[in-house]
Copies of this chain bind each other. A is one copy, B any other.
Amino acid sequence: MEHTPTGDPAYHAAVVDLLGVLAYGELTAFIRMAVDSDLAPTLSLKSAMAGLAHAEYVQYTQLVEHMRARGIDPEAAMAPFVVPFASYHERTRPRGWIEGLVKAFVGDGIAKDFYREMSAFVDDDTRAVMGHALDDAGQADFVVGVVRDTLKTDRTAAGRLALWGRRLLGEALSQAQAVAVERDAMSALLVGGGVDLAEVGQMFTRLTDNHQKRMALMGLSA
């Protein structure tokens, strides 16, 4: 994969966008997960969900430090993404603990898959900090067991949560689409990286495939 030289202003703008969307995504994920941890039925689950939220915050601060060290204003970088993330979270407000849990697992998974795809088009330094922010210590693994247990005892849950998963994917892709239209530089990164439309299509296929795998892991159809 070719890398546009870091001196190129268009490339710089794309990287600022990418770090901004990643950082703000982590910050809002932190807030939403903390909010949703309050719905947990037990102290142990509340603590586990709070731990997920905490991991997002730590990754957020790492990205902010990285941006500051490179003379990027983190707030300016994040600002364009306030509205899309607010829309996403507004449209995917969980109606209960299990929906919040599935959202944490599925939403985070989609976001991280997307950033992993994008990290192929950036310089090594940026890819390293993105990789760090995308590092998953398996803290979300408890979600799988909790959802599977719920499916055993609640017969209506499977259908409801399968729909919920589809909704989460749809809303995430629709916000990503809106961001792509709005943020030329970030989209140009794909095109500048020699990516044609067919390859963008394949990227979306990979994203939905991974989504399906995550849903299957929880015992849900996608």
Question: What's the Cα separation between A61 and B30 when bound, in Å?
Answer: 17
Nearest residue (CB) in B for A38 is B31
15 A-B residue pairings within 8 Å (CB atoms)? A27-B47, A30-B34, A30-B50, A31-B35, A31-B37, A34-B34, A34-B53, A35-B35, A35-B38, A42-B75, A43-B74, A43-B75, A43-B79, A50-B57, A51-B61
Decide if A54 is an interface residue (CB 8 Å cutoff). yes
Decide if A78 is an interface residue (CB 8 Å cutoff). yes
Annotate A192-210 by CB proximity to B: 1 below 8 A, 0 otherwise: 0000000000000000000
Please report which residues of chain A, range 28-67, place their CB below 8 angstroms from some CB of chain B when the two chains form the complex: 30-31, 34-35, 37-38, 42-44, 46-47, 50-51, 53-54, 57-58, 60-61, 64
- In the complex, the count of this chain's copies comes to 2
- Shortest distance between the CB of A41 and any CB in chain B (Å): 11
Decide if A82 is an interface residue (CB 8 Å cutoff). yes
Annotate A77-115 by CB proximity to B: 1 below 8 A, 0 otherwise: 011001000000000000000000000000000000000
Q: Which residues of B contact A51 (CB under 8 A)?
A: 61
Q: Which residues of B contact A44 (CB under 8 A)?
A: 75
Question: What's the Cα separation between A160 and B44 when bound, in Å?
Answer: 38
Nearest residue (CB) in B for A64 is B47
Q: Which of B35, B43, B50, B64 contacts A82 (CB 8 A)?
A: B43
